[in-house]
């Protein structure tokens, strides 16, 4: 009887990569969908209308970063070695933004809002599991190498655009997604200073990822 052929090591690595990217996508997108369902079921809440509640939901950096890392991870499930100039920026953005989401939440925002049972589950997915799984997936299965200087600089465009959008919209409607950005409460100077601190952390993480990306073994 002929023994079954062994699966080649590269094939196993691709399977592992797809599983890890799928877990990231599942955590991030499930959390985002749960937040959408909560917003639809609960109604406007403190917002003046249901439409404004939904706009506010998708204005949160947390939701945007989880949607981004979720979509990028789905693309990596389909093709774990995916590459290209635009995708490199999207992949780095996803990693940086979800990391900043986890760091800022755990250090600044944790515990400031009372959550329902469903909210606690989505909170766990969005702020803890998705960031941790995204980091683990990148370290173990990449794709790598993908980060050069141009990729780092282009990856800053999305966070900077979000900052500009947040402050411009906040000035118009008087609502800011996070207390440390709230100009109406803190004043413009402190809010900009807090934003600058987060921006410095993000830039530092981007260059750290570049260094680590060059030193870790190519993957998948």
- 163-181 residue pLDDT tens: 999 999 999 999 999 999 9
| 10-residue mean pLDDT series, the chain (220 residues) | 54 92 98 96 94 97 97 97 96 96 91 84 96 96 95 96 97 95 95 94 94 92
CA distance 12 to 219: 12
CA distance 131 to 102: 6
- Three-state SS for 144? strand
- 118-151 residue pLDDT tens: 889 999 999 999 999 999 999 999 999 999 999 9
Check: CB of residue 95 under 8 Å from CB of residue 130: no
Residue 144 dihedral angles phi and psi, to the nearest 5°:
-155, 145
Q: How much of the chain exceeds pLDDT 90, in percent?
A: 87
**Average pLDDT of the chain?**
93
pTM of the complete model beyond 0.85 = yes
What is the torsional sign of CA 147, 151, 153, 155? negative
């Amino acid at each position: 009887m002929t023994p079954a052929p062994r699966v080649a090591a590269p094939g196993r690595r691709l399977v592992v990569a797809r599983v890890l990217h799928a877990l990231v996508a599942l955590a991030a997108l499930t959390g985002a969908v749960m937040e959408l369902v909560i917003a639809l079921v609960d109604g406007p809440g403190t917002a003046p209308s249901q439409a404004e509640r939904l706009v506010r939901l998708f204005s949160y950096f947390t939701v945007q970063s989880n949607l981004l890392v979720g979509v990028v991870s789905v693309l990596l499930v389909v093709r774990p070695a995916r590459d290209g100039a635009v995708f490199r920026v999207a992949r780095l953005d996803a990693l940086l933004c979800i990391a900043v989401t986890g760091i800022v939440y755990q250090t600044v925002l944790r515990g400031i809002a009372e959550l329902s049972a469903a909210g606690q589950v989505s909170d766990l997915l969005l702020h803890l599991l998705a960031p941790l799984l995204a980091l683990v997936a990148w370290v173990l299965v990449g794709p790598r190498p993908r980060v050069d200087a141009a990729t780092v600089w282009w990856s800053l465009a999305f966070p900077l655009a979000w900052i500009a959008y947040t402050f411009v919209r906040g000035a118009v409607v008087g609502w800011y997604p996070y207390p440390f950005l709230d100009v109406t409460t803190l004043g413009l100077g402190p809010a900009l200073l807090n934003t600058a601190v987060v921006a410095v952390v993000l830039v530092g993480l981007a260059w750290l990822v570049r260094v680590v990306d060059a030193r870790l073994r190519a993957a998948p």
